[in-house]
Chains A and B, each alone.
Chain A
Amino acid sequence: MALSTLSFRRGAELARRWPLVWHARELTIDALTGQVGTLTRAATAAALDLNGTSRTLSYHQPRWEYVSGVGTCLRLGAAAGALTEYLSWPADIVLSSAQSNALCGMISFVENGTSAIGDASGGGAALWGMSNAAVTTGAYLTVHANSTSGLYTIGHDNDVSSVVSVLGAAPSSGNRVRLRWWLYSDGRVQIWQSINGAAETAASVSGTLTMSAPWGTATKYWLNSLGTAGLAYGHVLVDGLVVGLGNQSQADLLEALA
């Protein structure tokens, strides 16, 4: 059993319980659950170190950044979608009959401002997604900021039509945000938001939507994107991400992120 101080994998042993668990503090873009991550950024970009010193990093190099009170995060994107930067993992999941088609997840991050997140120029800035690379065909799930209001939204598209659940308030810049989302087995979606550790507020659940064909082997999880050319790119400091089968409780999702 190799136990290293960096890139430690509780790995397949813990991982079997969740389809995807990723923690920035492990200092690797690979997930704790074993999926190899791919960071896309064809440009240099800067990040702050533990002492607040800026450093410029090479193409595709992860921008680990320390945020006081939060810990180590991965910085993705730049203001107003000015930087194409996203992380992806393969999402080769098979849904069991016991879990039906339901999915859930939680994203923990530091808000960088609604002006940066809510990209008014297009279809909203993606924070998390699950789709194939092209997005133009096939079903997808997306957590994104609404293009005009900047409010965080969970959307489910079955390749024919779509449903959304939209939160009632947007966080402020510098807030620590946790978004929890559920995809119900009947295609409905719902999103919850916790700001700075406060109790969650819930958005209204969407209408039902016929589930499309199962997620294919080409499906990927996207962080700060939806596909390779989907929604605009956001600007976030993410410290953890989890995706689960079924509709798991806030407590269980928080434990997976701990």
Chain B
Amino acid sequence: MASAITVNGRDLITRGIYVSKATGFDETPERQVPTLTPLGQMGVLLGTPIAYAPRTLGLIGTIDPAARTVAALDAAMKAAKDLFYSGVLAVSFTNTAGDLRRIEGLATRFHASPRLEKQHFQAAQLADFSATILCPDPLYRDPDPTVLAVPANTRVALPLGTAPCRWTLRAMGASPTVTYRTAGGATVWTVGLTRTITASEDWFDFDARTSRIWWYDNGVKTAAIEAGYLTTGQQDWAKPFDPQDGDYATSQAPSIECSVNAEVLYHKRWL
């Protein structure tokens, strides 16, 4: 379970927010699989794409400001409310293995109530709180990105987490061809362009987040590459890097190769 939790970079404990129960952190997101039942036959066929249901994080605990005064509790409760409702939240936590994980979400509920252990709630110095955070994208990410050089015509292994991740490849040369392979060397997809750019000054962005290929002219994002320039391989190249193209448990990773010097950028993702 999470041993330390920060919200938007703010350590909860230093804010007097103590989490005694956290839910949703260690659950895998529910898979939603399209299915097809062949007419007149027994059994079911599994379809694609498989979707992941949102993750819902729950935090329950106590607001206990360093100064145990009524005014301090009032300020801490207001600060906590403001913190949790400050738009999209970046929730980070360290698990018991010491791994730092991050997930983005939106607080859908925050509730705090002074403890009625005194004769009147306005005299309370502690409060109970609960918060619910909806994470439409249920996968965690490594806060620190992975940036790898991809020398021309060299297969580079792609260490991944336990979940698929989107990526960007920057190819620094004319007419690049990019190939993604499984750990066993089988080609999953390949894509190639026939387009001239100015050597050393320009580059192509293969952006699998948006399924687009962009030409950067002297640092300026200039034009999307039109389909006519795609002369090799498939146009459905924009798939995530998938740990199932290797084997996470035994550290066997898929690979990427480019015909010109390139770099690949991604954040590892985790279930």
Contact = CB atoms under 8 A, between A and B. Distances in A.
B88 A72 contact: no
Interface stretch (A43-51, A142-150, A186-194): A43-51
Contact of B209 (A6, A50, A54, A64): A6
Q: State the majority secondary structure of interface residues on B.
A: strand
Interface string B1-31: 0000010111100100000000000000000
A11 to B, nearest CB: 7
Contacts of A4: 166, 209
Interface residues on A, range: 35 or more
B166 A61 contact: no
Interface stretch (A91-99, A158-166, A208-216, A250-258): A250-258
A218 interface: no
Interface stretch (B32-40, B63-71, B136-144): B136-144
B145 A8 contact: no
B172 A25 contact: no
A27 interface: yes
B88 A56 contact: no
B234 interface: no
A202 interface: no
A1 interface: yes
Interface in B104-138: 104, 106, 136-137
B166 A49 contact: no
Contact of A10 (B88, B141, B150, B261): B88
Nearest to B89: A10
A72 B218 contact: no
Interface in B182-237: 200-203, 209, 216, 218-220
Q: Which 4 A-B pairs have the closest CB atoms?
A: A13-B87, A60-B219, A258-B9, A55-B149
Given A12-B87, A14-B8, A60-B216, 19 more contacts: A3-B104, A3-B136, A4-B166, A6-B145, A10-B104, A11-B88, A13-B86, A13-B87, A25-B144, A25-B145, A27-B145, A27-B147, A39-B219, A51-B148, A51-B149, A55-B150, A58-B201, A59-B202, A66-B147
Interface of B: 6, 8-11, 14, 86-90, 104, 106, 136-137, 141, 143-151, 165-168, 170, 172, 200-203, 209, 216, 218-220, 261, 263, 265-267, 269
Interface of A: 1, 3-8, 10-14, 17, 25-27, 39, 44, 49-51, 53-61, 64-66, 71-72, 251, 255-258
